Structure 1
């Protein structure tokens, strides 16, 4: 039965650690968080079932207005201006130390993003973005036979699932915004590249409770179908290469490519995601081994110009029987 899912999200200031030649470099960020948790990069994944009504209450602890928009959802934004009739937000925002609520019915299964709709040229870059997953009705978390991203007949059945959020950091912009200094959004020059808020080799570390809680290492057994929910929250397009493996693209921006009337799914070895785009891909590894997933622009797979690093992670495939399948790799 459809339910009402209530999530309380806080907009908070924090820091992340990026690899540097002399050790980790601390960079100020703004991120969404759950309750007493630190700000998260990316924000907490919102996970609901199609037909549910999602109510998000945003609490703002920052020193400027903040909001949330949900592209692809039936929530009509309402732009807001300040007392001088200057544009502030694409939608209703929360003033500092205040809150605002959003509600909509998540009608269609899919992978979507959410992000700040207030001064996104700096707030999204600062880290105010995350992922919304809408699962098809009838999916049972303990019954692998029901696991599908878009429902029966969409070719999106899977055994292992992982969300891969692509992101960038312009450290100069981050320090300027955090210090209240002027910055030119047209002078955007990212110098850090991430998957799930981490740069390689940190992408391989397990999940934790820091501001960068999500690992990006994927594990599977031979023959398992791996669903990768790829989300580009960056301002640049990025081309993910899958270590020589072929992936089948089964959905784009929350729309399945296979229907009863047409199968428009397609295979790729490298998948280019535009800024803000989401793509769902299925891959099946036939042979054991380690396969590296990385941005084909090798500069984006470096840390301070040193390869390997940046936007890179690893798919580890072991012989069947060595690893139990799971919903999340």
Structure 2
């Protein structure tokens, strides 16, 4: 068992859209100092203990109270810790401004209060972490991220679980993995929301639809966007198994079309559909995900080319009513 630690704080940032920028609230790594959408990816192996520290829980840099919830995780322990000597050994040294610092050093410098969330990763899968305070507003403003829990031995050649999402015998072996987080943005809401001020969600009307925080054509950009570091362009070779791990972090349902491929659904909401006694995996050319739903799909392309993956709702393929845009990306098969 290993300890996987992450120090997060929420902050106000600027979200890049194809035709403009808007303010957003996002989780960011304390040492990097920038919020992002989705929040930092947290990866663990079954049996690991995850410890996530949220800096300044009472009044954060977004200007209002904040908490984190972890849907799908059990026995999450929560406690507040004042600044000062830390009871744990530093998880890993961190670097800032060219010098190495530990979590204890950082707390001594900042003199902040943090909240610690800890739990054991008990089963493989993909999970959201998100704001648990005024989530109807804060999640839509961008306060969410992804946790990936992998089976033991997934990175050990020759191990039965090597390069599998859920372990041996689950039909989840893959060569290429891509996480796609679906959501939508109401740019008027993002410009109007004020800290500690009620926002009427009945006014919520998205005008941008995003994958990993980006709207097409930014979804296929190869360069880095600091506020949205995870692109969604997919590259593979003929015959490779491509694992798409799709999560709907938004409020709306999304029917995601697989570019003409017939993909095999191997897990739903992090429950594998194949066990030793039952194979309930099935093929689909498109999948509909409700709010908060997660699906793992294996594609095996047989023909080179470029294929579009997109939301089948036409009005989800626009940027401020301009087509093409929105929830669309590309898979390039070589």
TM-score range, shorter chain: 0.7 to 0.9
Please give the alpha-carbon distance, in whole angstroms, between the structure 2 residues aligned to 1:257 and 1:103. 28
1:128-277 alignment, distance < 5 Å: 128-140=143-155, 146-178=162-194, 182-206=198-222, 208=224, 210-277=226-293
Structure 2 residue aligned with 1:58: 54
Preserved CA contact (<8 Å) 1:58 1:101:
yes
Residue of structure 1 in register with 2:312 after alignment: 296
Change (3 A) 1:261 1:148: same
The answer to whether structure 1 residue 114 and structure 2 residue 114 are counterparts is: no
Change (3 A) 1:144 1:16: farther
Q: How far does residue 32 in structure 1 lie from its aligned partner after superposition?
A: 0.5
Equivalent residues of 1:240, 1:272 under 8 A apart = yes
Provide closer, same or farther for how the CA distance between residues 143 and 230 of structure 1 changes in structure 2, counting only shifts above 3 A: farther
**1:207 Cα deviation from its structure 2 partner:** 5.3
Question: What SS class does the counterpart of residue 125 from structure 1 fall into?
Answer: coil
After the TM superposition, which of the residue ranges 230-239 and 97-106 deviates more from structure 2?
97-106
Question: What is the CA–CA distance in structure 2 between the aligned matches of 1:3 and 1:243, rounded to whole Å?
Answer: 39
Of 60-69 and 128-137, the range deviating more from structure 2: 60-69
The runs of 5 or more residues in structure 2 that have no matched partner are 79-111
Residue 43 (structure 2) aligns with: 47
SS at match of 1:126: coil
Q: CA deviation at 1:189?
A: 0.8
* 1:260 Cα offset (Å): 0.7
CA distance in 1, matches of 2:225, 2:217: 18
Q: Give the equivalent residue in structure 2 for 1:100.
A: 115
What displacement does 1:179 show?
A: 6.8
Structure 1 runs not aligned, ≥5 long: 79-96, 319-329
Is the alpha carbon distance of 1:248 and 1:265 closer, same or farther for their aligned partners in structure 2, counting shifts above 3 Å?
A: same
Deviations 1:116-157 (A, max 9, x none): 000000000000011110000011177898100000000000
Which secondary structure does the structure 2 equivalent of 1:260 belong to?
A: coil
Mapped to 2, the partners of 1:77 and 1:191 lie a distance apart of 38
Secondary structure of the 1:121 match is helix
Q: Bigger CA drift: 145-154 or 172-181?
A: 172-181
Provide the TM-score with structure 1 as the length reference.
0.86
Structural RMSD (CA):
1.8
Count residues with an aligned counterpart.
295
Tell me whether 1:38 sits opposite 2:53 in the alignment.
Answer: no
Partner secondary structure for residue 249 of structure 1: strand
Deviation of 1:25 after TM superposition, in Å, equals 1.3
Question: How far has the Cα of 1:286 moved from its partner?
Answer: 0.4
Q: Note if contact 1:245-1:269 (Cα within 8 Å) is conserved in structure 2.
A: yes
Could you say which residue in structure 2 is the equivalent of 1:72?
Answer: 72
Q: 2:167 and 2:194 mapped to 1: Cα distance?
A: 43
